[in-house]
Structure 1
Amino acid sequence: RLRVILARPDAVVLDLCCGTGDLALAFARTGEARIVGADFAHAMLARAREKADLLAARRGRGSGQITLLEADALRLPFGDASFEAVASAFGFRNLANYEAGLREMLRVLKPGGTVAILEFAGPVPGLLGRFYQWYFRVVLPRVGRLLSGDRSAYEYLPASISRFFTPEGLAGAMRKAGFEQVRYELWFGGAALHLGQRPV
């Protein structure tokens, strides 16, 4: 369903918590829809603008397909029912209030619109889960300190993942917020893609 929306030149898609714009750029490369990227972090948006301008120059088009703006995901500056789709990749986990974020996503979606949240899957049971926990808590911070001199940035990631929903927990929160047809796919590498729709 998201691919169909992205192919429509009349569609508008929100990349929420867009960071440096990787998802917005991927959407622009694969479709004709107009993309709006929103993030709270000014420096990340500046980098996203540079990347969007480069893509537009390579394609020989103006940069009008992607619009980027600084915005709070819990109080979005858009009217109700503004977007055919809302997507977030590895940024939703950083919101201060997940339930409020889901309500805002639902509010700005058009009836029948699609939501897609790609996020780390949270604590995974079994041997693989223990390996991921060890890697994120022990190996990643040390590698981060060696490469960047900043261990704290790499300690934040595993802490935020361990506090986040399990895949079923996020699916339940989406249903509670009012999304229908909620489902998720577990991806290798500890991520899950959650999909849902705003009721018609």
Structure 2
Amino acid sequence: MTAPYSPGETPSKVVPLPHSDLSKKEQVAGMFDRIAGRYDFLNHFLSMGIDKGWRKKAIRTLKPIQPRRILDVATGTGDLAIAALSLQPEQVTGVDISEGMMEIGRKKLAEKGLSDKIGLQYGDSEALPFGDNTFDAITCAYGVRNFEHLEKGLQQMNRVLRPGGRVAILEFSQPKKFPVKQLYRFYFRYILPVLGKSVSKDATAYTYLPQSVAAFPEGSAFCSIMERSGFSQVKARPLTFGITTLYTAEKA
């Protein structure tokens, strides 16, 4: 298991393939390309379907500002982007570095008749291809943990968000109370990697997951990083015994 996060550092050294010469960004993109075909099934199966409720809660935090243009960073197969349609925005744009994940997402959108409402395109979190103050709201589900340079990605999100706009970020965290803490650690260390590997046929993705969660600067540490990246009114709301955390913030 990777060592816990230390203040002042980033989890960028936690990568899917520790002995590879590829950058974290390249490794993450390749990993998601490999598991794209089984990602949605595993996502819902390994979380026992609770992830759908987490997404709904994230989207509800944006309702007060009635966003017309929404950006979903690290959109993957588009689940959070689809959930954002409940706000009735004019357009939702999803960006990701994994073309394999977005290919699955585009098929999903076509089947649901949503291709005109949600557009998926390649986009690097550290160099978002949009102008300043473009979006009313930004979402990201379980993606910031995979940024190669965390603060740079958050600064880019802040840049393309309009003043007064809101951001909602979901990320895994580690429960603190007995017995959930102990059960969670056992599941994440011993059961999830085996189940993930057997279904996805990828030996790295579900070993990398618990390692990257352990290294992520969760809670108040991540809130501080968001504030340094230009966000205000930053809040962290643990969900389901702290298995995941919903971070919300605004751009002043």
TM-score by length of 1: 0.88
Assess if the C-alpha contact under 8 Å between 1:5 and 1:33 holds in 2.
no
In the aligned structure 2, how far is the partner of 1:145 from the partner of 1:14?
31
Name whichever structure is richer in strand by fraction: 1
In the aligned structure 1, how far is the partner of 2:201 from the partner of 2:120?
31
- Aligned counterpart in structure 1 of residue 162 of structure 2, from 110, 113, 134: 110
Assess if the C-alpha contact under 8 Å between 2:235 and 2:248 holds in 1.
yes
- Say yes or no: does 1:55 pair with 2:112: yes
- Aligned counterpart in structure 2 of residue 177 of structure 1, from 229, 233, 238: 229
Assess if the C-alpha contact under 8 Å between 2:235 and 2:249 holds in 1.
yes
% identical aligned pairs: 36
2:196 maps to 144
- Aligned counterpart in structure 1 of residue 97 of structure 2, from 40, 43, 66: 40
Cα distance, 1:20 vs structure 2: 0.4
- Say yes or no: does 1:129 pair with 2:189: no
Assess if the C-alpha contact under 8 Å between 1:88 and 1:117 holds in 2.
yes
- Say yes or no: does 1:80 pair with 2:132: yes
1:115 aligns to what SS in structure 2? strand
Cα distance, 1:139 vs structure 2: 1.1
Change in 2 beyond 3 A, CA 1:148/1:45: closer
Cα distance, 1:35 vs structure 2: 0.2
- Say yes or no: does 1:25 pair with 2:25: no
In the aligned structure 2, how far is the partner of 1:67 from the partner of 1:149?
29
Assess if the C-alpha contact under 8 Å between 2:74 and 2:140 holds in 1.
yes
Count residues with an aligned counterpart: 190
Cα distance, 1:30 vs structure 2: 4.6
2:143 maps to 91
Cα distance, 1:98 vs structure 2: 0.8
TM-score by length of 2: 0.71
Assess if the C-alpha contact under 8 Å between 2:69 and 2:89 holds in 1.
no
Cα distance, 1:145 vs structure 2: 3.3
In the aligned structure 2, how far is the partner of 1:53 from the partner of 1:167?
37
1:157 aligns to what SS in structure 2? helix
Assess if the C-alpha contact under 8 Å between 2:70 and 2:92 holds in 1.
yes
Matched letter for residue 26 of structure 1: A
For structure 2, the residue ranges without an aligned partner over 5 or more in a row are 1-60
Report the more deviating stretch, 47-56 or 108-117.
47-56
Change in 2 beyond 3 A, CA 1:151/1:179: same
In the aligned structure 2, how far is the partner of 1:149 from the partner of 1:76?
32
Cα distance, 1:186 vs structure 2: 0.5
In the aligned structure 2, how far is the partner of 1:54 from the partner of 1:191?
30
- Say yes or no: does 1:3 pair with 2:55: no
Report the more deviating stretch, 150-159 or 94-103.
150-159
2:244 maps to 191
Cα distance, 1:5 vs structure 2: 4.1
Instruction: Report the aligned-residue RMSD.
Output: 1.7
Assess if the C-alpha contact under 8 Å between 1:84 and 1:113 holds in 2.
yes
Report the more deviating stretch, 154-163 or 46-55.
46-55
